[in-house]
């Protein structure tokens, strides 16, 4: 979950040295390219982690002069404004992919483009890239992930590795989803490296952030499922961000920056969400969470104080939901981008390629702004124009079917709980509580995926998936005079809590509510 490249490189080196090996054995014959090492290609030993990040650049911008000049006649954009699978940037460097190789220059400069030193078997074989924060990931034709770390420092500290996946980046490589399709060279996946200093939770409390976090976020299947791969989590595709419109929104393109994911459908409808393992409530190592109201508790001065001192506000759950962004008031393509613009998670800028008044360029706006601005570039559009009507919300024109999983079962004292179309990846679920007198009460069930150490399959199957959850009875107004039976039930069986916290073990055939010792079979 902590994604700083210095910490990662050092832990990998120490772990491998302790084991007496130079790397981790490959999992199968289909494996990452052998010339890209597991530990890394770093030429200079980095200082101990946690002192500072990014690392200092010993030679300053002159380090770029150590890289070979790009071939004469190779075309490059006059400015790098997008983060997609062909180009990207951070505060230090512009990066462009050309003919399977990487070319760089200092950020927003007029310096000449130069070729990134790359392990020989990968050089010329890069199909797609994504840049964010201190990292770049490169994908080969088979979908394998290769990381270039320390990208906020000079080229002398840049470090290639093929390791990705838990435990702590020691797994011998992973692929992005859709490796057998055209998803590699597309706008369906992106790298996120969160290095922000704070974020605001769904209840409005601001929280300090110290540890970074890396994840690759991808649209999968028909575009309605959103998978994230964290190099500290098990090497599988089991973690998801529940998508917009109850998980039914079909994304055409995706971008992510510093744990803010943005998706767009083929009609130009855009949703954004601040979400990662830490913000979602699953990682109790650095984070302290609560489902309960916190009143006027103050924010902590730092993350350690927040974790240990209950006088400060914990991270409120459920996590913030998707934000439906205003539609772009003009013609657009599916070329979508988001990038950091300040120290907080909320400091992000959205960018969409498009056209206005016959001029080509891009539309942009800050994440929380209400209106878009157009910047003309005169450059050819890289994607086809979408059939988007800027005057109309077209989110529902293309929706995936509802999840065909409903559950119903008995709770203590003859009450019944029902969940229809239960999508485990969603944060909130509509629920119905039925009393012995046959009165029904509308509730909300909140869930978040538990932290796991071992790989598992995506979705729900016969292997139980652990969910941390809370049953919110406030929508039923339980202490209204006409709802005395519900109020009595809460006092007698739910510890007098309107937000009742519980653990759930979920399979495709049942939900087991551990705290209540109740089972909801699939209905």
- What pLDDT does residue 15 have? 37
Distance, in Å, from the CA atom of 356 to the CA atom of 385, rounded to the nearest integer, reads 12
Out of 38-42, 60-64, 241-245, the most confident range is: 241-245
Q: Which residues of 91-114 are buried (b: 16+ CB within 10 A; e: fewer)?
A: ebbbbbbbeebbbbbeeeeeeebb
Helices marked H in 254-362 — which ranges? Answer: 277-280, 303-308
- What pLDDT does residue 46 have? 41
Query: Which positions ≥6 away from 11 have C-beta within 8 Å?
Result: 168, 169
Beta strands in 85-244 (DSSP E): 87-89, 93-98, 101-106, 114-115, 126-132, 135-140, 145-149, 159-161, 189-194, 198-200, 206-208, 213-220, 225-229
**Residue keyed to tokens 């929280």:** 207
* Phi and psi based region of residue 126 (left: phi greater than 0; alpha: psi -120 to 50; beta: remaining): beta
Distance, in Å, from the CA atom of 211 to the CA atom of 49, rounded to the nearest integer, reads 11
Q: Does 44 score more than 60 pLDDT?
A: no
Binning pLDDT at 50, 70 and 90, where does residue 53 land?
low
Binning pLDDT at 50, 70 and 90, where does residue 52 land?
low
- What pLDDT does residue 11 have? 36
- What pLDDT does residue 28 have? 47
Binning pLDDT at 50, 70 and 90, where does residue 82 land?
very high
Q: Does 212 score more than 90 pLDDT?
A: no
Q: Does 469 score more than 80 pLDDT?
A: yes
- What pLDDT does residue 381 have? 97
The pLDDT of 373-384, averaged and rounded, is: 97
> Residue 166 has which token pair?
């838990």
- What are the sequence ranges of the domains in the chain? 5-161, 189-376, 407-521
Strand order of the β-sheet with 440-449 is 407-410, 416-419, 428-434, 440-449, 465-472, 499-506, 510-513, 518-521
Query: Which positions ≥6 away from 511 have C-beta within 8 Å?
Result: 407, 409, 419, 422, 504, 505, 519, 520
- What pLDDT does residue 17 have? 34
Distance, in Å, from the CA atom of 284 to the CA atom of 303, rounded to the nearest integer, reads 12
pLDDT tens digits along 122-170? 999 999 999 999 999 999 999 999 999 999 999 999 999 999 998 878 8
For residue 421, which of 400, 435, 407, 436 has the smallest C-alpha distance? 407
Q: 190 by DSSP, 3-state: which?
A: strand
Distance, in Å, from the CA atom of 262 to the CA atom of 325, rounded to the nearest integer, reads 9
Distance, in Å, from the CA atom of 301 to the CA atom of 312, rounded to the nearest integer, reads 9
Distance, in Å, from the CA atom of 245 to the CA atom of 253, rounded to the nearest integer, reads 16
Q: What contacts 24+ positions apart, CB below 8 Å, involve 416-422?
A: 417/513, 417/518, 417/520, 418/523, 419/445, 419/511, 419/520, 421/246, 422/511
> Residue 329 has which token pair?
């008031």
């Amino acid at each position: 979950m902590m994604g700083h490249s210095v910490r990662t490189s050092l832990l990998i080196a120490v772990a491998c040295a302790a084991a007496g090996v130079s790397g981790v054995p490959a999992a199968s014959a289909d494996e990452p390219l052998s010339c890209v090492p597991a530990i890394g290609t770093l030429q200079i030993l980095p200082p101990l982690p946690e002192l500072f990040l990014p690392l200092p650049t010993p030679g300053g911008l002159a380090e770029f002069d150590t890289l070979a000049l790009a071939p004469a006649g190779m075309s490059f954009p006059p400015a790098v404004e997008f983060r997609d699978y062909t180009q990207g940037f951070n505060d230090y460097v512009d990066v462009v992919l050309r003919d399977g190789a990487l070319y760089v220059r200092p950020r927003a400069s007029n310096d000449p483009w130069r070729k990134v030193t790359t392990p020989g078997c990968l050089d010329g074989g890069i199909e797609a890239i994504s840049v964010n924060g201190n990292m770049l990931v490169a994908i080969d034709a088979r979908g394998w992930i290769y990381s270039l770390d320390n990208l906020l420092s000079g080229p002398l500290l840049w470090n290639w590795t093929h390791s990705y996946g838990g435990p702590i980046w020691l797994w011998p490589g992973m692929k992005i989803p859709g490796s057998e399709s055209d998803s590699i060279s597309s706008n369906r996946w992106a790298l996120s490296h969160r290095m922000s200093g704070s974020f605001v939770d769904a209840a409005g409390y601001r929280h300090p952030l110290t540890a970074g976090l890396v994840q690759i976020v991808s649209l999968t299947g028909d575009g309605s499922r959103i998978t994230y791969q964290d190099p500290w989590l098990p090497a599988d595709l089991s973690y998801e961000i529940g998508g917009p419109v109850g998980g039914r929104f079909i994304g055409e393109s995706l971008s992510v920056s510093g744990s803010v994911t943005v998706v767009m459908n083929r009609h130009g409808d855009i949703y954004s969400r601040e979400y990662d393992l830490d913000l979602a409530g699953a990682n109790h190592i650095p984070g302290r969470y609560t489902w309960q109201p916190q009143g006027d508790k103050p924010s902590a001065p730092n993350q350690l104080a927040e974790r240990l001192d209950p006088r400060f506000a914990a991270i409120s759950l459920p996590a913030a939901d998707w934000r439906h962004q205003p539609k772009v008031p003009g013609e657009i393509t599916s070329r979508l981008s988001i990038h950091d613009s300040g120290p907080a998670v909320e400091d992000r800028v959205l960018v969409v390629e498009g056209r206005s008044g016959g001029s080509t360029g891009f539309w942009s706006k800050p994440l929380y702004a209400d209106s878009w601005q157009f910047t003309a570039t005169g450059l050819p559009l890289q994607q086809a124009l979408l059939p988007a009507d800027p005057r109309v919300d077209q989110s529902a024109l293309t929706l995936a079917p509802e999840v065909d999983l409903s559950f119903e079962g008995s709770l203590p004292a003859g009450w019944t709980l029902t969940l229809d179309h239960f999508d485990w990846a969603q944060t909130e679920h509509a629920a119905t509580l039925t009393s012995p007198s046959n009165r029904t009460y509308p509730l909300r069930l909140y869930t978040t995926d538990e932290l796991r150490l071992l790989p598992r399959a995506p979705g729900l199957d016969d292997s139980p998936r652990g969910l941390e959850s809370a049953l919110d009875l406030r929508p039923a107004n339980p202490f209204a005079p006409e709802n005395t039976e519900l109020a009595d039930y809460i006092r007698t069986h739910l510890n007098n809590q309107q937000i009742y916290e519980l653990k759930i073990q979920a399979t495709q055939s049942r939900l087991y509510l551990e705290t209540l010792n109740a089972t909801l079979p699939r209905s």
